[in-house]
Amino acid sequence: MAMEKNQDTQLIMGRYRLGRLLGCGNFAKVYKAHNVATGEAVAIKVFDKDAVHQSGMSGKVKTEVHVMRRVHHPNVVRLHEVMATRSRIYFVMEYAGGGELFERLAQSTRLPEPVARRYFQQLITAVEFCHSRGVYHRDLKPENLLLDARGDLKVSDFGLSALQDAGARLRGDGLLHTACGTPAYVAPEVLLKCGYDGAKADIWSCGVILFVLLAGYLPFNDTSLPLLYRKITQSNYKCPPWFSIDARKLLARMLDPKPRTRMTISKLTAHPWFQKGPCPLTDRPLIARETPVLLGKEACRCHHHRDDDEEEDARQRKRSKVTASSPAVAVMRPSSMNAFDIISRSSGLDLSKMFDEEHRPEEARFASRESTAAIVSRLEEIAEARNLSVRVGEKGRVEMEGGRRGALAIEAEIFEVAPSVHVVEMRKTGGDPLEFRDFYRQDLKPSIGDIVWSWQGGDSPPPASVARRRATM
Q: Convert the pLDDT of each residue in 186-197 to its tens digit.
A: 888 888 777 778
Which residue out of 139, 157, 350, 356 is catalytically annotated? 139
Give the up-direction half-sphere exposure of residue 266: CA atoms within 13 A in the CB hemisphere: 1
CB-based contacts of 78, cutoff 8 Å, min separation 6? 68, 72, 93, 94
CB atoms within 10 A of CB 66: 16
Q: How far apart are CA 408 and CA 302, in angstroms?
A: 27
Per-residue pLDDT of the chain (473 residues; tens, 9 = 90+): 354 444 345 888 889 999 999 887 767 889 999 999 999 999 999 988 888 888 777 877 887 787 777 778 899 988 888 888 888 989 999 999 888 888 777 766 789 999 999 999 999 999 998 888 888 877 888 888 999 988 899 998 765 545 444 443 444 444 443 444 578 888 888 887 777 788 898 999 999 999 999 998 899 988 788 888 899 999 999 999 999 999 999 999 999 999 999 999 999 999 999 998 764 443 333 333 333 333 333 333 333 433 343 333 343 333 333 333 333 333 344 554 443 344 334 333 333 333 333 333 467 888 888 888 889 999 999 988 888 888 888 767 898 888 655 568 898 988 877 767 888 888 888 777 777 888 888 888 888 888 888 776 443 333 333 333 333 33
Q: Is 212 strand, coil or helix?
A: helix
115 touches 286 (CB < 8 A): yes
54 touches 461 (CB < 8 A): no
Binding-site annotation: residue ranges for ATP: 45
pLDDT of amino acid 309: 34
CB-based contacts of 69, cutoff 8 Å, min separation 6? 79
Q: What is the DSSP letter of 11?
A: E
Whole-model pTM? Answer: 0.57
Which has the closest alpha carbon to 334: 444, 265, 267, 414? 414
Give the tens place of pLDDT for each residue, 233-244: 999 999 999 999
Stretch (H or E) spanning 128: helix 113-132
Specify the long-range contacts of residues 77-84, CB closer than 8 Å, at least 24 apart.
77/43, 77/146, 77/154, 77/155, 77/156, 80/42, 83/12, 83/13, 84/49
Q: Name the β-bridge partners of 414.
A: 424
- Amino acid identity of 385? A
Q: Name the β-bridge partners of 424.
A: 366, 414
Q: What is the DSSP letter of 280?
A: P
Look at strands 88-94 and 153-155 and give their pairing. Answer: unpaired
CB neighbour class for 355 (10 Å; exposed up to 12, middle 13-18, buried from 19) = buried
CB atoms within 10 A of CB 316: 12
CB atoms within 10 A of CB 428: 23
Q: How far apart are CA 364 and CA 428, in angstroms?
A: 9
Q: Is 210 strand, coil or helix?
A: helix
Q: How far apart are CA 412 and CA 362, in angstroms?
A: 12
Q: How far apart are CA 275 and CA 441, in angstroms?
A: 37
188 touches 233 (CB < 8 A): yes
Q: Domains in the chain, start-ordered, CATH in brackets?
A: 3-94 (3.30.200.20), 99-275 (1.10.510.10), 319-472 (3.30.310.80)
CB atoms within 10 A of CB 13: 17
200 touches 265 (CB < 8 A): no
CB atoms within 10 A of CB 201: 27
Q: Render 160-208 in DSSP notation, one character per residue.
A: T-EETT-GGGB-TTS-B----S-GGGS-HHHHTTS-B-HHHHHHHHHHH
Q: Is 83 strand, coil or helix?
A: strand
148 noted as active-site residue: no
Q: Name the β-bridge partners of 391.
A: 399
CA-based end-to-end distance of the chain: 37
Q: How far apart are CA 468 and CA 451, in angstroms?
A: 22
CA distances in angstroms from 38 to 16, 41, 79, listed in the order given: 10, 9, 17
- Amino acid identity of 57? M
Q: Render 212-225 in DSSP notation, one character per residue.
A: HHHHSS-SS--SSH
pLDDT of amino acid 73: 87
pLDDT of amino acid 362: 66
Q: Name the β-bridge partners of 79.
A: 93
